[in-house]
C-alpha cells in the first residue's frame, strides 16, 4: 500500500481556473467545459489539501486543439510540462509530440471491481511517431480529499490495454495529482482503493434555460466530482437537451460525500426533486435539480446535506448572470464564396456537392438517408480510424472476446477495423446501419475529424 503521506510536488498556482469569475457562456458552444483551461480543472477547494502543495517547477503550457476534443502539446526532453486545460503533467526523455483527450468513465467503469473507485478523469494519451517509452511519467489530477491522512488508501492507475483492464501502481501522490511511470499508452486514469468512505472535491454546475418567457427563469443544477470526465459528461448531456442552456459561472467547488442533498432558494422557487442522491457510481446520465422562478433575479441557491443539515455550497444568481453573452460571429466568406455569382450557375451547383461525392477510387460514398452503408463505404471509415478503433468497437457493442477473434483471424489492421464495422452492419436490421446510425453510436468519442467528415458527407442529417 502507498504511504498515506502526500508527496508535495504540485502547485495550485498553476491551476488556470478562476471560480470567482461571473458571466455566462453557451453550453452548446463547439468546445465545452472539459477542454478549456478555465473549466477543466477548478481551483482546489479544500484548505487542508492546499496546505500540502508546493511548487514543483513544471512549465505551464497551453495545448493546441486539433479536432473534436483532442489536444496536443510539444514536449522537450527532461522538462516537466503542465497542461493548462486538463491539469495533466508530462515529463519526457526526448522531444515528442503528445496527443490526448478526456474520456468518459461510463465506458470504463465496468473494468473496476467493487473495491476500486475512480479518483479523477480518464484520458486517452498517445505519442506521435514515437514509442510510448519516451514519456517518463504522467501526473493525473485527482478529486480525492486528503484532509484525513490517517485513512488507509491506495492510489492506482487503470490502464486499458487492448480492451483488457490492468491496475498499475503509482509512484506517489499529492493533494491534487497522482504520479505514474509510463509503461505504454491507451486509456489511463487514476483510481483509489480504501476501506473507508472517501471525501471528494466536488462542483455544483448551474445552467439556465434560454428561449423561455423573459419573466420565467428555469435552471438545471448538477452535482459532480471535480473531475474533467464528470464535467464533460454533464456538458454533453446539457447539449443533448431539447432546450438550449447557458452555463452560469459561479464558484462551483465544494466537498461532496455520497449521500442525499436538498436545494433551497431565496426567494422560494419551484424546485424538483426535493432531494437528490449523490453517488460516486458511474452513470451515463447525471441527475439534477430543476429550479423554476416566476420573478426576476436575484436568487440565492443553497445546497444542504440532509444528514447534517450543513450548507456545503451557496451562490447568488443575478440579472446579469442570466444574459446570453455568446458571440454569434458571421460565417467567414471563403474564396469559393467570393467566386460565386448572384445567380445559380454550374460552378455553384458543383460547389454544393458533398466533398466525398467525387472519390478518386470510383466509390460513391453518398447514400440516401435510409440506405445502409456498403462495405466500400465502411472501408473509407476504417481507413481513417487510428488506435482508437477498439473504443469504437466497444461503443458498437463488441465484446473483448469477439475483438480477439477478429485480430486472430485477420492480420491486416485496416481489415480488422473493416470486419468490425461490417459485423456491426450485419447485426442491424435493414435501414438501421446508415451513416447516421453509425455517427449516432460513436459521436461521444474523440475521433479524428476525418471520420466525422466522411460520415457528414454521406448523410445530410449529421451536423
Residues in the chain: 463
Q: Enumerate the domain spans of the chain.
A: 12-193, 200-322, 354-458
Q: How far apart are CA 226 and CA 41, in angstroms?
A: 7
Task: Give the contacts of 454 (CB within 8 A, at least 6 positions apart).
Answer: 356, 365, 380, 381, 384
Fold of 200-322: Immunoglobulin-like (2.60.40)
CATH number assigned to the domain with residue range 354-458, chosen from the 4 options 3.40.50.300, 3.40.50.920, 1.10.533.10, 1.10.3720.10: 1.10.533.10
Find the range with the poorest average confidence among 222-231, 276-285, 409-418.
276-285
Q: How far apart are CA 97 and CA 421, in angstroms?
A: 30
pTM confidence score: 0.63
Q: How far apart are CA 355 and CA 410, in angstroms?
A: 31
Task: Output the pLDDT for position 1.
Answer: 34
Task: Output the pLDDT for position 47.
Answer: 67
- Helix and strand numbers, DSSP H then E, in the chain: 10, 25
Task: Output the pLDDT for position 30.
Answer: 30
Share of the chain above pLDDT 70, in %: 76
Would you say the CATH fold of 354-458 matches that of 200-322? no
Q: How far apart are CA 383 and CA 230, in angstroms?
A: 31
Task: Output the pLDDT for position 77.
Answer: 92
Task: Output the pLDDT for position 95.
Answer: 95
Contact between 176 and 122 under an 8 Å Cβ cutoff? The reply is no
Q: How far apart are CA 442 and CA 431, in angstroms?
A: 18
Cα first-last separation, the chain: 49
Sheet harboring 177-181: ordered strands across? Answer: 59-61, 80-83, 89-92, 135-141, 177-181, 172-173
Task: Output the pLDDT for position 68.
Answer: 74
CATH number of the 12-193 domain: 2.60.220
Asked if residue 350 has pLDDT above 80, the reply is no
Say which residue the cell 481507413 belongs to: 383
**What is the torsion angle, in degrees rounded to the nearest 10, for the CA atoms of residue 27, residue 219, residue 34 and residue 104?**
-110
The mean pLDDT value for 59-72 works out to 88
Amino acid at each position: 500500500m502507498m504511504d498515506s503521506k502526500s508527496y508535495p510536488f504540485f502547485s495550485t498556482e498553476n491551476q488556470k481556473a478562476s471560480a470567482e469569475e461571473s458571466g455566462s457562456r453557451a453550453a452548446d458552444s463547439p468546445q465545452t467545459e472539459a477542454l478549456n483551461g478555465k473549466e477543466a480543472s477548478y481551483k482546489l477547494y479544500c484548505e487542508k489539501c492546499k496546505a500540502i502543495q508546493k511548487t514543483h517547477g513544471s512549465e505551464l503550457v497551453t495545448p493546441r486543439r486539433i479536432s473534436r476534443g483532442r489536444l496536443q502539446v510539444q514536449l522537450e526532453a527532461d522538462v516537466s510540462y503542465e497542461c493548462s486545460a486538463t491539469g495533466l503533467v508530462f515529463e519526457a526523455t526526448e522531444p515528442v509530440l503528445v496527443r490526448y483527450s478526456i474520456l468518459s468513465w461510463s465506458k470504463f467503469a465496468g473494468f473496476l471491481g467493487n473495491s476500486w473507485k475512480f479518483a479523477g478523469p480518464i484520458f486517452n494519451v498517445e505519442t506521435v511517431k514515437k514509442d510510448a517509452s519516451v514519456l517518463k511519467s504522467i501526473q493525473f489530477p485527482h478529486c480525492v480529499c486528503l484532509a484525513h491522512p490517517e485513512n488507509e488508501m491506495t492510489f492506482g492507475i487503470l490502464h486499458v490495454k487492448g480492451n483488457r483492464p490492468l491496475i498499475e501502481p503509482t509512484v506517489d501522490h499529492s493533494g491534487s495529482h497522482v504520479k505514474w511511470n509510463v509503461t505504454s499508452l491507451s486509456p489511463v486514469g487514476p483510481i483509489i482503493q480504501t476501506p473507508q468512505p472517501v471525501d471528494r472535491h466536488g462542483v455544483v454546475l448551474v445552467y439556465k434555460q434560454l428561449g423561455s418567457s423573459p419573466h420565467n427563469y428555469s435552471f438545471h443544477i448538477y452535482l459532480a466530482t471535480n473531475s474533467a470526465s464528470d464535467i464533460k459528461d454533464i456538458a454533453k448531456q446539457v447539449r443533448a437537451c431539447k432546450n438550449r442552456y447557458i452555463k452560469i459561472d459561479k464558484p462551483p467547488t465544494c466537498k461532496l460525500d455520497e449521500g442525499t442533498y436538498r436545494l433551497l432558494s431565496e426567494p422560494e422557487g419551484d424546485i424538483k426533486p426535493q432531494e437528490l442522491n449523490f453517488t460516486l457510481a458511474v452513470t451515463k446520465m447525471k441527475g439534477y435539480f430543476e429550479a423554476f422562478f416566476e420573478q426576476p433575479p436575484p436568487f440565492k441557491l443553497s445546497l444542504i446535506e440532509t444528514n447534517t443539515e450543513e450548507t456545503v455550497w451557496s451562490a447568488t444568481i443575478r440579472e446579469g448572470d442570466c444574459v446570453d453573452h455568446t458571440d454569434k460571429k458571421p460565417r467567414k466568406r471563403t474564396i469559393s464564396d467570393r467566386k460565386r455569382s448572384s445567380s445559380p450557375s454550374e460552378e455553384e451547383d458543383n460547389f454544393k456537392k458533398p466533398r466525398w461525392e467525387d472519390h478518386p477510387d470510383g466509390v460513391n460514398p453518398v447514400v440516401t438517408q435510409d440506405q445502409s452503408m456498403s462495405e466500400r463505404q465502411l472501408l473509407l471509415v476504417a481507413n481513417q480510424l487510428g488506435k482508437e478503433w477498439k473504443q469504437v468497437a466497444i461503443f458498437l457493442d463488441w465484446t473483448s472476446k469477439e475483438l480477439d477473434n477478429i485480430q486472430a483471424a485477420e492480420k491486416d489492421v485496416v481489415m480488422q477495423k473493416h470486419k468490425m464495422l461490417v459485423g456491426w452492419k450485419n447485426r442491424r436490421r435493414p435501414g438501421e446501419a446508415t451513416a447516421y446510425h453509425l455517427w449516432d453510436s460513436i459521436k461521444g468519442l474523440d475521433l479524428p475529424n476525418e471520420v466525422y467528415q466522411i460520415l457528414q458527407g454521406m448523410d445530410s442529417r449529421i451536423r
